[in-house]
Every structure is written in C-alpha cells, then in structure tokens.
Amino acid sequence: MGKPLKSGDKTKSGWKQDPEGVKRDIIAAAISEFAKSGFTGGKIDDIAARTKTSKRMIYYYFGDKEGLYARALEAAYGNVRKGEIELNLEGLPPLDALAKLVSFTFDHHRKNPDFIRMVMIENVHHAEHLQASSIITSLNAGAISRLEGLIARGEASGDFRPGLDATELHWQISALSFFNVSNQPTFSALFGNALFTQRGQKSLRDRAVEMITAFARNPDK
C-alpha cells in the first residue's frame, strides 16, 4: 500500500476541485489497464500516468491495487446494468422489449471490449473478487429480476411460451453477445474477418435477436 497522504501533499491538478470526477477518471483508467494486463500484470504507476492524479492519491482513494481492481470490476458491471435500466422496456410489448434488450446487449459488449476482458480475467481468478462484491451481486440480481418481470408480462399476454426461466434466458443472451467479442481474434484467424465488419456485425446482431425471440415466442399464438 502507498504511504498515507499528508495534508501538504501535492498531486496533479484537479483532485481537490472534483474528487468524484478524479475517482471516475482513475476507475476508467484502471478498467483499461486491467483489461489489457490483467489483475496481476496491471500497474498502479501506469494507471496514475493516465489520470489527473498521483499514485499516492490512488492508494488514498482505493486502499491498494486489489481495492482498485474490485471497484473497476464493479464499475464495469454497473455500466451494462445502467444501460439496461435506461432502455425503459416496461412500456414496450414483450417481444419488442426482449428484442431491444438483445440488441442492446450485443451492441454494448461489441462497443466495450474492456468489459468483456475484465469478465474473462475474473473467470481466470475463479470469480474471487466478483463473489466478494455485494454491489455486483445486487446489480446482477436486479438484471434477473427485471427479466423475470418481462417474462411475467409476456406469459400473461400470451406472447411468450410458458415456463421460461430468467437466468437461462440471460445466459443465452449473454452467450451470443459475449462470444462475439471474446473469441474474435481466434475466430478471425481461423475463418477470416467477414463477420466482424460493420455488415457482418449487423447480421450477427439481427440473428441473435431472431434466435432469442423465436425461443421465447409462444408457438400457439
């Protein structure tokens, strides 16, 4: 851990005027650094160099590297869950709402590869930090709860087939969206880059929407 901060310590300009903004800046830099180098390889010096503050202030705000990594992981999950909430799916017909959720998830993951890398790194660490975070647990419980509400609406209207499981449906949406980013380098090396062009990505997203909504749709309606 870094040395305790003294009242006379000087850092890069900005932290005194906007400490919350500086924390956000540090977390954004940490996500990028840990996504690139992992928890073990990520360096506080490199994170500080990307920010408006100092290594000492990072320790002051977050305690140690593990504390910063945990906050970065929470922020990465928080961003995707926040985006889901902002979709306002409650006002849409159930099948339209599900299609919008799938499209959002696919596009979010494609546009935020650092989130995917953070999740991959956390899997390497057997979800050690994730399981210790009540924030991440709460965020993801909320995602399942919202999906349960959507399923209940869809079953009540007759649009969804009965018996859908929210956790299973979340897994299916995540799998289609996650693999698209996590395996892009190896897939491209083996089969070419056509699926990762703008046209290819639109096609994959459209197919993902079709697959999930076809699975959820009530065949008797």
Range of the structural domain that residue 29 is part of: 12-63
The confidence score (pLDDT) of residue 53 equals 83
3-state secondary structure of 198: helix
pTM (whole model) above 0.75: yes
Tens digits of residue pLDDT in 28-71: 999 999 999 999 999 999 999 988 788 999 999 999 999 999 99
The answer to whether residues 180 and 204 touch, using CB atoms and an 8 Å cutoff, is yes
Tens digits of residue pLDDT in 70-125: 999 999 999 999 999 999 999 999 999 999 999 999 999 999 999 999 999 999 99
Residues 92 and 36 in one domain: no
- Compute the C-alpha angle 132/84/160, nearest 5°: 110
12: pLDDT confidence band, cut at 50, 70 and 90?
A: very low
Q: Give the Å distances, CA to CA, from 107 to 35, 52, 98, 110.
A: 19, 30, 14, 5
Three-state SS across 75-100?
A: HHHHHHHHHHHCCCHHHCCHHHHHHH
16: pLDDT confidence band, cut at 50, 70 and 90?
A: low
Q: Give the Å distances, CA to CA, from 215 to 173, 203, 218.
A: 11, 18, 8
What's the start-to-end Cα distance of the chain, in Å? Answer: 61
CATH number at residue 173: 1.10.357.10
Residues 104 and 190 in one domain: yes
Residues 82 and 119 in one domain: yes
Look at residue 9 and tell me whether its pLDDT is greater than 60.
Answer: no
Look at residue 155 and tell me whether its pLDDT is greater than 90.
Answer: yes
Q: Is residue 5 part of a domain?
A: no
Residue with tokens 């920010």: 51
Q: Is residue 6 part of a domain?
A: no
Extract the tokens encoding 184. Answer: 């892009």
Into how many domains does the chain fold? 2
Handedness of CA 16, 20, 22, 23 (dihedral sign): positive
